[in-house]
Structures are given as C-alpha cells and as structure tokens.
Structure 1
Amino acid sequence: MSSIPEFGELLAGAKRSAVHLETRDVYYSNPRFETWQKGERTDWDDRASWWRPFHQQIADAVARGVDVRRARVVSEPVTEYIRWEHYVTHANLAAGERVRWLPRRQATDLLLPVNDFWVFDGQLMRVHHFSGDGDWLDKELRDDPGVVETCSTAFEKIWGRAIPHDEYEIK
C-alpha cells in the first residue's frame, strides 16, 4: 500500500478528468461528522474554517481544466452519514467538483462496481476498500485497461441517471 501515490499526487497528474464513485451508505466516522451529529453547523461564510487541502487540490485541478465529478449511489431513506455528506457537499461544489446522487432503487438495472474508486483520465483507477461497518481498510491502484474501462463505463451510466446535487432532495 505504501507504494501507491497519494490522492493529491494522482489528481495533480490528471489532465482531463477525475471521476469518483461512492456506493456505501456509511463510512468511517470522523470529528466533523460527530460535531454535525451534535447539532453544530458549518459557517459557510468562514471559508478558512472548512476549506481543506483536499478542496484546494480539487480547485487546482479544475483550474487546469480537469473535469472532476462524483456520483453517490445511496439507499433511501438515507443514513445519517449520507444526510451529513449531502450537507457538506457544499464544500465540494465550492471547489469546483460536480456531484450527483442516484437512489439505489433507480440503479437496479445497472451493473455497479462493488468498491468505491477514482478514475483519472480514463486510464488509472484508485480503488478504496472498506470494512462492512465503513472503516477504511486500504487502497489499490489498477491500470488494467479492461477493468478501468468497465468501471468508467459503469460510472458514466450512473452519472447519466443520477440527480444533480442541487436537485436531489434527501429522503
């Protein structure tokens, strides 16, 4: 795992596109989620309080002309974690990422990859592995053209059916 480049390095090398598929309803917890659970909300006017290096990496890629897209396949009614993700997606959008949501019920006839991933320029894929309860396990890099094409095609089908963030209503 240590030989796999960090996300920022992979994104910095992207020239045209970076697409991200998320398929889980629960991910590992983190302090920002826990704070949100306690009722605290982000002051979106105070960018310094929520802007992270990740957001800058996205903004830099978008400024270079990289199309950064994220599709989330979610069960409805959504979990509390997904409710929080929907709330904090404001930061992704501010960085220039485009985000869409696909209710799992609307994906029955699609073949979905079983792991979350990023695909860079349709050639390199970083696969994320999680435990059943959402804890991060590890990542792997795949450059097999058949695997990357299969997952890229699945992403495009999901993207085409998914609902833009500003139109998706949490249920």
Structure 2
Amino acid sequence: MTIYFYKVWQPYGCFSNFSPHGIQIQGTYWATVEHYYQAQKFVGSIDAVIIPAIHNAPTPEEAAALGRCSSRQLRCDWDIVKTQVMREAVLKKFLTHTEIRDILLNTGNEIIVEDSPNDYFWGCGKNKTGQNQLGKVLMSVREEIRKLVSVTALTEKYL
C-alpha cells in the first residue's frame, strides 16, 4: 500500500515540511523544515538579507511565500544542493522527534508519496507523474534511521 501525505492535519501529516517539528542545524533553531529549507535558498546570494525574515516567519506558509518570491536571486548552486539540503533537514527532524520517527519507521517498506497537486519535483503532481523527491528523501531517511537503530541496539547489547 502506497502512503500518501500532504497536509499537516491529514494522516501522515508529520511527513510534511510544514509540520510543527522544529530542528536545530548548525547552532540555529528553525520552527519547521520549511523555514530552514526556504532560508537555505539564499545562503551566499545577494538576497541573503531575507534569511532572518524567513527564519522569523510566524508560519511555515509565510516562510514558503518569502522563499518563493520570484524577484529574489537564489544561491547559484541551488539546483545542485537543494535535495541534499532537504535530506539533511528531514533527517534532523526525524532524529529529533521520537514520536514521528516511530511513525516513519512503522511505514515498513511502503512507498511514501507527497501528494501535492502542484509540485512535480518534490511531490507527485496532480496527475501523479511528478518526481516525488520528498517521498524519496523520506524513504532514504527511514532506511538510514533503521541502520542507526540497529547499530545502536548492537552496541548496547555488546558493551
């Protein structure tokens, strides 16, 4: 059974970047993965001055709107690094919050799909032909956490 998610209040809403699960990365606390991701678009760019506004946005929706403003210049390597930036933030989120880590691990080996009708890169898009990169990141993070849990269990058993 494929697991679809999109809105925070729907089943598996904790998989959304808009879920209220803060992360600490490089000494800075971000209210959501969305806040962090949108801010990273501008690191080192001429529009880096927008980063504090994204960081302090009261909601992930507002952070997303600030980050998606087409008049701002993104960092020059954004297309190259955006998936890794997302993966780092999603991994941190699920390592930080045990209650949602368990939800992710309990998905077994099911395919996870961001059911965004508008996003054909991170989601599956309206006609389900999108790349589903967020779903792929979640499945990769799930596998990495499984390995970490196994190593931790073995270490505890034999030390």
The structure whose residues are more often helix, as a share, is 2
Higher relative contact order (CA 8 A, sep 6+): 1
TM-score by length of 1: 0.27
TM-score by length of 2: 0.28
The structure whose residues are more often strand, as a share, is 1
